[in-house]
Structure 1
Amino acid sequence: MTTVLVVDDDPLIVRALRITLNAHGYGVLTASDGASALRAADEHPDVVVLDLGLPDADGVDVIAGLRRATTAPIIVLSARTDSAEKVRALDAGADDYVTKPFGVDEFLARLRAAVRRSAHRRVPAEEPLVRTASFTVDLTAKKIHRDGTEVRLTPTEWGLLEALVRAGGEALSPQRLLAEVWGPNHTSATHYLRVYLVQLRRKLEPDPAHPRHLVTEPGRGYRFQP
């Protein structure tokens, strides 16, 4: 069964979409704000339907966070008709943009098209291992090995490491990492990053006081270096 994550803070719209989607054979997950949407992405929905007007975060920022967490297509449902808003949403990673009010038949057709496109671009092969001089990261199995021994990470430590590894050498700002790992309502809690980076470096770096792989970029953020 195809599962749709509906992200909207209007309970009437959520209820209407749930009834419509269930009637057409879809499973439905719901979230009423950006933080819960990012948590719900861990349940691997096949499609995300997202309103931009969320109470705790800018919808475009939520799109960017979802895109880092899932490859599922994102369809925006929004009353915002300004073309600049559409461009921002699509550039952030949305796959489609439907303005409210919308016709149910058109919405379902766009949903089916998004599912088809997603199925075509899925690659069955596993992601390659990421190797450093000190440890190996298996993004598919979510495992770390150092000197032939598996390193146990907490879910938060893994989330932080995965975000840095997937950035491919790009320096990520503290705000971006906080939004991705802890949610968009924690972007000022920079002490979280310092605590967890210290823990990661102790577990993974040969010399935690002089990190080679989890590098601080002054004025920019943090970067993973193989």
Structure 2
Amino acid sequence: MHPPYDRKERSIVNILIIEDDQQIRSFLSYILEKEGYHPEMAATGKEGLQLLKEKEFQLILLDLGLPDLDGMQVIEKVRAASNLPILVISARDQDHEKADALDLGADDYLTKPFSTTELLARIRTALRHAQNENKTQAALVKSVQGLTIDLDSHRVFVNEKEIHLTPLEFSLLACLFEQIGKVYTTQAILQKVYGTQYGSDTRALRTLMASLRRKIEPQPAKPRYILTEIGVGYRLNDHA
């Protein structure tokens, strides 16, 4: 028996089964429970979408031939709201239908009939990919006491209010976020933000720092987030 998701993280893994065939629903639920997962079942697309609003899931097992909504519609609606992994389980075996489901945002496609071994392997793969993606996204979004930087979208927020920075201001803040709570020397910042050609000329950096502080600090004259370490450099305050 394989561990659900990750043996090190004893977290509950909720899996939503959207399948109109009662026998298949019961079979899938039995297999998942046996492996330590927590299944929830829906017989229609609308019922499944409602459950997604009410509870948190880590994976969807989706049949395409539903009595109300087509499974393709369910994929579109889920993708409009989240990146929740979707594993399609369907009797439709035409290549174009598989391609359509994947193009709409499904993560994988398993054709009925299937083996329990393959099903569980596909589930573990989908969950592992989602876990790795979540870790990557988390690493790109960093926060310190209400100051948040999204390194992927190049956005900055102070207490959830977006602050518009210039590219150089963003680079300076991103530089400081690399070593939260630690001093970044003036020379290191100059090279990181401007390049080696600036040498030891700190005037441009002081001007840039003043501009950044005016935008993110409640009181720029008494910085809360970016502290000056006289004679050394700057530090992003981890106890702001």
Query: TM range, normalised to the smaller chain?
Result: 0.5 to 0.7
Corresponding position: 1:56 with 2:106 = no
1:22 to 26, 33, 36: 33
1:114-153 deviation per Cα after TM superposition (whole angstroms, max 9, x unaligned): 0000001012237979xxxxxxxx9xx9x99xxxxxxxxx
Which residue number corresponds to residue 74 of structure 1?
86
**Following superposition of structure 1 onto structure 2, how do residues 138-157 of structure 1 map, counting pairs within 5 Å?**
none
Aligned sequence identity (%): 38
**Following superposition of structure 1 onto structure 2, how do residues 42-53 of structure 1 map, counting pairs within 5 Å?**
42=53, 43-53=55-65
SS at match of 1:5: strand
Amino acid at match of 1:79: A
Bigger relative contact order (CA 8 A; separation at least 6)? 1
Cα distance in 2, alignment partners of residues 11 and 53 from structure 1: 13
Instruction: Tell me the CA shift for residue 29 of structure 1.
Output: 1.2
**Following superposition of structure 1 onto structure 2, how do residues 49-198 of structure 1 map, counting pairs within 5 Å?**
49-122=61-134, 123-124=137-138, 125=141
1:6 to 17, 38, 55: 17
2:43 to 17, 24, 32: 32
Instruction: Tell me the CA shift for residue 66 of structure 1.
Output: 1.0
Matched residue count: 133
**Which stretches of structure 1, 4 residues or more, deviate above 3 A after TM superposition?**
125-129
TM-score (norm 1): 0.55
**Cα-Cα RMSD:** 2.3
5+ unaligned residues in a row in structure 1: which ranges? 130-137, 145-226
SS at match of 1:69: coil
5+ unaligned residues in a row in structure 2: which ranges? 1-11, 150-156, 162-240
Is residue 41–residue 69 contact of structure 1 (8 Å, CA) maintained in 2?
A: no
Amino acid at match of 2:42: A
Which residue number corresponds to residue 231 of structure 2?
none
SS at match of 2:80: helix
Which structure is larger by alpha-carbon Rg, 1 or 2?
2
TM-score (norm 2): 0.52
Instruction: Tell me the CA shift for residue 70 of structure 1.
Output: 2.5
